[in-house]
Structures are given as structure tokens and as C-alpha cells.
Structure 1
Amino acid sequence: MISRARQLAAAALGGALLLLPAFTGIANAAPTSRVFGVTLAKTAADMKKVADYWRPDQLKQADSYSPATPGAQAAPTSSAGAASGPASPVTTVRRTSATQGLAPVPPRRGGAGKTMGKVFFKFGAKQYWCSASAVAARNRSVVATAGHCAYDSRQAKAAEYWIFVPNPGPNGETPDGIYVGAALSMHEDWSGKGDYDFDYAFVTVHRGFVWEQAKDGTYTMKDVGRLQDNVGGQGLEINRKPAAATMTAFGFPAGVQPDGTRPFDGKTLRTCQGSVTYWTVAPALDLQKGVRLQPCAFSPGASGGPWLVDYDAARGLGNLNGVNSLTWNRDAKGTYDAVSSPYFDTTTAEVYRRAAALTTPGNVT
């Protein structure tokens, strides 16, 4: 549990985690990085077990679940997610090229991107949710969110029954499909010690599906294809320090403010723009290179939502340069006034590469 003193300084946000040109031109790149991977739902059968949990009646209740924050105590019960698997060994990933930028990709059918949405999951017996976004990848199946929206480093345990719902409706609607998490990629310092300089995760997801109801009231799964084909994918910017005017943070805030008010309902996508500060430090959270965006009144629910540079509202696309990680009440007044993200550096690119290289079964039904 985050202590009261630490809460006054910073509190975790929560919802309740291709064939493209190669990355080029990064400075100060390390020769190797440490990436930690966890299997969530490996096979089509595993995926079906998770999907069966998230039937329409369950999704209608999903917005009432708790915002997932690092300060929220997760139930230390045995795994309830039959699809969850063990953590894989830490893998040393060698750099094959330098890294700077990856272009965003629109939906295959054209139109604006609809990449932003929510992730729903369980720790023990309790359900949680966060914000997230689809990212362009060669496997067309990658979601970016906060590390604490997919892995509890205190328990050394991945989230169970993890799904991504892009462009969610206010009453459990899933117009662009439901995407079950297949594998989680993160930095070992998040999984090993909860270092907030690495509070990000890239989740490789299965093909999407929607529930179709028959005349007798039963539901069946209909395959709708790959995530990126349906909603597009945000680009990725590494080792870039953009000007304030080009940075926009997105999320679905819902949680209570320090004064007890709830100005956000968690059902509406919100944005923040403001001044960007390098670096924000919080030693108690192992944060040394936080990037702070101010002003921003985001509250729990916005965790994992994307920070985009060069965002084109008409296209719904930009370049991912961070994720909502911590929210701040720096003036100790009634509402949060800033949000911060880990800095996206070369190590971030290596974590992303693992997620983008994984494959999933060719059909979900």
C-alpha cells in the first residue's frame, strides 16, 4: 500500500496496464536490454476460457470495477484464471538497429484510428480496469498500457483474464471487438522491484471477437480479425523530448480526487495538454526519470492511457511517447494537478520489439 506521505506527492493512476520501416537513429543506445515476458493465454483454448468470463452481462458491469493502482491491495488468493501461465525467464535482447520512430497506421478499412480504450482484468478475486491504446506492430496485435495495469510486482504476479476493448461503449458495448491478452512484455525492473521508471507494458493480443446473440438467447463468438486492422495503431517515438504543445495525454479517468469529489465518470475519453518537465523524481517509487505533464486533473482510471506527440485529431493518430503512470497533487490542494509517464528510451523499444514479434493462433472461434 502506498503510504500517506507518498500519496501526497504522487498517486498511481488506474482504470479501476506489420511491416513497417525499421527504427533508426537513436543516441546513447545500450548494446543490450533486459526484457521480461509472461504468458497470459497461449492457445486458442486458453483464449476461449478468458473470453467466456467476459460475456455481455459481465461487460455491462465492467465500468463499476475498481481503478487499478499500485496502492490497491490485490487479493493474495490462488489463480482464478485458468488461461494464465508462468513467467518466462528474463531474456537478454540484443539491439539489431538504433531506434527513433515508428509511423502510425490507420485502420485497414480506412477512416480515423480508434485505438484508445480500456483493459479489464483480475488480480485474485477482484476485477480492475485501466486505459490503453493499440500500437502499430508487424503482428498487428500490440496494446500499450501501464505496467501496473498488467503485472503486480509486489506479488510477482501477472493480471488474469486480461482483455482490451477499444472504443468502448458506456454500457459494455464492444463495437470494435474484444481482444484477449496472449503475452505480456515489460522491463525486468518493473516485474522485479516495481521501479516506476519502467511502469509500462506492451501486451500482444489474440484476434478479436464480438458476441452474437441467437434467437434462443445464447451467445457465440464471431471472429473480427486483428486489432490493428480494425482500429489502426499509434506510432512510437523513442528518446524524444517533445515541446509541450505537441504532447497530449489521453485516458478514462474515474477515481476520486484528493478532496473526495468525482468530476469524471470513466466512460468518456479525456485529454490533457500542458507544460512538460524533465525530470520528475520520486525516490520512494524508484522514479528518477519521470516526465511530468501539467496541468492535468486525471484521476484513477486514466492509468495506461497514451501520451501522443504530433497527434492529428482528424486521423485519430499520433506517436506514442509515454503512458499515464502517476498522478500528482503538487500544491496539496483539492484536485490532482499533474500526471507523469516513464521516459520512453531504448529499453522501451526492446520491450516493444518482443511484443511485436510474437504470434498468436490464426482463429479464435
Structure 2
Amino acid sequence: MIPRLRHLAAAALSGALLLLPALAGTPSAAATTGSALAPDPTYSVDMARTEAQMEAVARYWQPEKLKLAENYTPATPGSRPKPTGTTTASSQSLGLARRPVPDARTVPPAPPAAGGAARTFGKVYFLISGKEYWCSASAVAAKNRSVVATAGHCAYDLKNLRPADNWIFVPNPGTGGTTPDGIYIGATLNIHDVWSGEGDYDYDYAFITVHSGFRWETKDGKPTRVPVGKLQDNVGGQGLTILRGVGNQAVAFGYPSGAQPDGTRPFDGRTLATCDGRTTKTRSPSFNLEHGVQLPGCNFSHGASGGPWLLEFDAGKKLGWLNGVNSLTWNRDAKGTYDAVSSSYFNSGTMIVYQHAANAS
């Protein structure tokens, strides 16, 4: 899921990582004025909205299928669409809609309704072109208590310009396909319009509104769906913060599984992995990444895509402030292991995309 950037040598990076205005940490007047209007960058599309669609997704992910989930392929970013010289259909769907630039730069984290430590980290499973994939993800605090954050390439098929099929979120996944905190079917996908049409890695994030969850229980010898309620009530939700610039102490989470450049596999994809450090700026013209944020010293591999970056993480409460998601992995020194991971920069557009997901029914 996270492509290799082996060709970037350390010497070349030192001259290429330019300080861009978007990363300066000083918002423009429009970013702080509630009355200001900005083009709404959100592309929202249904995933499974009707009862019949939900039933079809649930039937696909029955217990026997979930038992095989650890063997599925960690998702890799799809090929970007070729430029056509015209606006894509997905971009046109937004027209000239304008939306107030949000005053708020933060959404506070929320503990589970029953108290205790949060259990927001998990995996998303989905199909692209009929093949099963998985990524990392996390629950995010929201008005509707039903939002999941992940990478854009973990929810949207760039090749065919459509949402991934049969998309589900499983927080705190257990071994053998067990789902102790339930299964949550994606209802509506919310991504940045530039990602949906161009696959620009400055916008590789997604906020998905999910239905209330369920778990499988055997009744009369058959798997039966048992409701478990809303996602945030069960596991809590991470906060969200934007326009934080770089130089922040962050902790990244994910379920890496793929091989390192030298072929070794230090991660098994079953155990939640973490890395931490201070963020820096980065860019990669080959991925249209101009305003990226990098976390050095992180050797995550395929499978970690979509996992959260948290600021001010409280290890006891398991809560912090979402300020990025794993998007690209880097091998800056061209040696045997990956040595950094990067995220899109979270700005006012990110908050607008999130608000679509948080306010959806």
C-alpha cells in the first residue's frame, strides 16, 4: 500500500525539501475568518446506503471470510488517472459550491461511552476490481459518532474512479478474524475532490461515515448479525487538529506487513505498531506531493497505510489529536529498510471534508 521511493538519496533530499507557505504554520486571514467562503473541496459518494446494500456487504464478510483476512494483500496506491485536459466527472459534481472556512481548528477526542481507554485503531477491508485488500485506520470523534479516518487510497479506486467495494472497518481486530468491538460498514465516502480526480498525494486522506456496528454470533447453527451500536460509543474517537505546521512531536500507528527493501519482514500485520518523532516537511514531484509532512525514523511497510498520526497522545487514555495519516513510505538513504513515512498536510480543506462525514446521518 505504501510505494517505495528508493530513488531519493539523502543528498538530493537536502536540496529538494523546500519550505512552502502551506507549512509555515501561519494561517491566512481566510483560514481564521468564519464569514470567509472557500470552494467546497469535498467529493462525497455513497458506499452502502440502503438496507439491501448493507446486507450484501455483511453477507460478503461472514466469519469464514474474516478468518482469511490476515492473508489478504495490504493495499498499495493505485495508478493515478491520466490527464485528459478536462475536468473529471467527479470534480464536476461539486460545481461552484462554496462553504464557510471553519473557525475551529480542533475537534476534541472522545472516550468510549462506558469509559476506560479508547480502542480506536483498526483495519479496513475492501475490494478493488474483485480482489480483497486491507489498510489501517482509526475512529475519529464526530457529531454523529460514526466517522473513520484512513488514507484516500484505502477507500477510493483511482484506476476506475469509484469507491472501493464492500468496505468495512474493524476496530481492535483479534486473531483468526475475530471482531471484539464489531464490524462497521461504510455508508458514505468523503475525500478531497483533487484526490478523486487526480490522485494528488497532497490529498491522500478519507473520512468515511459508517453505519452502526454488528458482530457475528452463531444461532441455530448459523451466523447471525447482532447489533452493537455506534462506533464512537463503543471505542471512542481521536480528536482532529489542522494547520499545525511542522516540527510537532507525533506518534504514528498502523498494522504494517510488507517486506522491507532488503526483503526482511519485521512486521506481521497482526500487531499494532508505533513509531514517533518530530515532523518535517517533504515533497515528491513523482507523486504530486508538494506540501507533505514526514515522520523520520519510521520503518513502516505495506499495511500501515491510513494509520493515524496523533499529536499530544495520552498513552493511558489512548487518545490524541489526529494530524495526518500514513500515506507514502520512504527509503531516503537507499539502504535496506524504510526510514520515514509521510502524510498529506491537514489544513482547512481537510476540516471541511471531515465535517461532511461528521454531519452525515
**TM value normalised by structure 2:** 0.87
From 114, 117, 120, give the equivalent of 2:119: 114
2:270 counterpart (245, 253, 267): 267
Displacement of 1:217 after TM fit?
2.0
> Quick check: 1:228 aligned with 2:232?
yes
The aligned counterpart of 1:19 is: none
Identity between Structure 1 and Structure 2 (%): 57
Quickly say closer, same or farther: Cα 1:331–1:199, change in 2 above 3 A: same
> Is residue 43 from structure 1 mapped to residue 50 from structure 2 by the alignment?
yes
Match of 1:31 among 37, 40, 60: 37
Provide the secondary structure at the position in 2 that maps to 1:106.
coil
The match for 1:127 is 132
1:151 pairs with 2:156: yes
| TM superposition shift of 1:71 | 4.9
Offset of 1:89 from its aligned partner? 2.4
Please list every run of 5 or more consecutive structure 1 residues that lacks an aligned counterpart in the other structure.
Answer: 11-25, 74-85, 360-365
The answer to whether structure 1 residue 162 and structure 2 residue 167 are counterparts is yes
1:52 corresponding residue in structure 2: 59
Q: Secondary structure at the match of 2:175?
A: coil
Conservation of the 8 A alpha-carbon contact between 1:154 and 1:194 = no
- The question of 1:248 aligning with 2:251 is answered yes
Structure 2 unaligned spans of 5+: 10-25, 81-89
Contact 1:324 1:341 in 2 (8 A): yes
SS in 2 for 1:118: strand
Amino acid at match of 2:127: K
Structure 2 CA distance for partners of 1:7 and 1:66, relative to 1, 3 Å? farther
Deviation >4 Å, runs of 4+:
1-4
Distance in structure 1 (CA, Å) of the matches to 2:149 and 2:313: 17
8 A Cα contact 1:135 1:234, kept in partner: yes
1:283-319 deviation line (CA, Å, top 9, x unaligned): 1111001100010000000000000001001001000
Q: Secondary structure at the match of 1:97?
A: coil
Q: Which amino acid is the alignment partner of residue 48 of structure 1?
A: E
Query: CA–CA distance in 2 between the matches of 1:200 and 1:70?
Result: 12
Retained in 1: the 8 A contact 2:2–2:76?
no
Where 1:274 maps in the other structure, the secondary structure is strand
Q: Residue 41 of structure 2: SS of its match in structure 1?
A: strand
* Aligned-partner Cα distance in 1 for 2:78–2:264: 19
Deviation at 1:63, TM superposition (A): 1.1
Give the structure-1-normalised TM-score: 0.86
1:99 touches 1:346 (CA, 8 Å); kept in 2?
no
Residue correspondences, number: 329
Aligned CA distance change for structure 1 residues 329 and 121 (closer, same or farther; 3 Å): same
- Return the letter of the residue paired with 2:63: P
After superposing the two structures, state which structure 1 stretch, 160-169 or 97-106, moved more.
97-106
Deviation readout 1:18-61 (Å, 9 max, x if unpaired): xxxxxxxx832273131101110011221111011001110010
Q: Matches of residues 69-80 of structure 1 in structure 2 within 5 Å?
A: 69-71=76-78
